[in-house]
Structure 1
Amino acid sequence: MSGVFSMFLAYVYLPPAVSMTILAISWCLFVPFDFLRQKYPALNDWVLHAFKPIMRQSEARNLAGTTYLLSGVLLVDILFPRPVVALTLLFLAFADPIASYFGILYGKDKIFGHKSIQGFMAAFFVCTALTLIYLLAHNYLTDRLIVVSLLAGLVGAFAELIPIGKLDDNLTLPLMSAVGISILFYFFGFFAIVG
């Protein structure tokens, strides 16, 4: 949560060229190294030992979630306008971990695999609140604030819920959220206002 929120802060407060450069350098340093550790068992053993407290069991023999996260955020940053990217980063920072937390604690009603209605509802509320706060803070779409926020909440919740093949949700959530938010903003005339 704090890592992605730091990415959001850097994205919002640093000049676009600087935030993009930092993201690209981070990707270039981390992702090839993650692929290399999959190829060389000795390197992978060292990484597992050094980062054992923060690595998931599933990452021991697979790519780390950070690889998917950096790739998803980099693609979104390249392909979408700044307000969409900023909101997508907020969804990724807060909705994904909070949905997971509520799904683990209270997720009795499963929908897809380990995804639950309770996790979906948590993601919906978080994404709705984040959109509301973001739009209010920038004085965007104030005449349609509630409707746009609720629909963006659904976009974020479905992006967190729906699995796309075997792809990691650190990749699919930002991409699906950015596409959905872009369509929503286009429909409500957002880009004509901020153009």
Structure 2
Amino acid sequence: MQPVDLKKRSDIHYARKIWHMSGVFTMFLAYVYLPPAVSMIILVAAWLMFVPFDFLRHKYPALNDWAVHAFKPIMRQSEVKKLAGTTFLLSGVLIVDILFPRQIVALTLLFLAFADPIASYFGILYGKDKIFGHKSIQGFMAAFFVCAALTFAYLLYHNYLMDRLIVVSLFAGLVGAFAELIPIGKLDDNLTLPVMSAVGLTILFYFFGFFAIVG
């Protein structure tokens, strides 16, 4: 393989963050505004197009070389010899889409779209106080504020839990922040963040009677 200068995890990598936020937010819009069956078909099709290809490129050096050069603007150095973050992201979203209620899936997609890249941005620039590996208190706080704000806006827009809006939003912020922070073995956070967020939000919303209201 010809050497390619790719970004590392410790780099801010603006192109990747823009790609991540715009891509996942597009998934959110498709999930919310398209019929459930259509959005599921699109998600499964995306998984089938990308994930098998991601596995195959590691078996065929020429294919991997082409992929690395083709996706250079959004690819990390670590992904040359490992599965791409997109494989874990699509898998995580598919699991959440199958297992959880629509409101949970929608909010989880918003967390995935914005909390992870913004937390990473603040963590790289200001993350002096490390917690787990490269994770920092500064990144954790950024994820908390983003997830709390997203939950507040989502619940307010749909007129859900208005008498407990601030409290639920703050707890949801903690759910998203801890999902972004806590490592699960060596699993990629593009997989663990949506799954852990969906589990945490389901428990939180059940506790506050959300499903009795929308059900």
- Give the structure-1-normalised TM-score: 0.99
1:115 lines up with 2:129 in the alignment = no
Aligned partners of 2:178, 2:70: CA distance in 1, in Å? 35
Check if 1:77 corresponds to 2:97: yes
Residue number in structure 1 paired with 2:12? none
2: distance between equivalents of 1:20 and 1:72?
A: 13
- What pairs with 1:6-85 in structure 2 (closer than 5 Å)? 6-85=26-105
Alpha-carbon separation, structure 2, partners of 1:98 and 1:68: 19
The 1-side partners of 2:23 and 2:59 are apart by 27
Per the TM alignment, residue 30 of structure 1 is displaced from its structure 2 partner at its CA by 0.4
Match of residue 95 from structure 1: 115
Point out the more displaced range, 51-60 or 76-85.
51-60
2:183 aligned with 1:163:
yes
- Deviation of residue 93 (structure 1)? 0.3
C-alpha displacement at 1:46, in angstroms? 1.2
1:150 equivalent to 2:170? Answer: yes
User: In 2, distance between residues paired with 1:54 and 1:121?
Assistant: 25
Residues 7-27 of structure 1 deviation map (CA, whole Å, 9 limit, x = unaligned): 001111111111110000000
The equivalent of 1:104 in structure 2 is: 124
In angstroms, what is the RMSD of aligned CA positions? 0.5
Amino acid at match of 2:117: P
Distance in 2 between residues matched to 1:173 and 1:48, nearest whole Å: 25
Which SS does the other structure have where 2:88 is aligned?
Answer: helix
Corresponding residue of 2:3? none
Please report how far the alpha carbon of residue 42 of structure 1 lies from its aligned counterpart in structure 2 after TM superposition: 1.4
Q: Identity, % of aligned pairs?
A: 87
Instruction: State the partner residue of 2:212.
Output: 192
1:78-134 deviations in Å (ceiling 9; x for gaps): 000000000000000000000000000000000000000000000000000000000
The list of structure 1 runs, each at least 4 consecutive aligned residues, that deviate by more than 6 angstroms after superposition, is none
1:98 and 1:25 map into 2 onto residues whose CA distance is 28
Query: Counterparts of 1:68 and 1:6 in 2: how far apart (Å)?
Result: 17
SS at match of 2:131: strand
Question: Partners of 1:171 and 1:51 in 2: how far apart?
Answer: 20
Gaps of 5+ in 1: none
Equivalent position SS for 1:110:
coil
Size of the aligned set, in residue pairs, is 195
What TM-score do you get using the length of structure 2 for normalisation?
A: 0.90
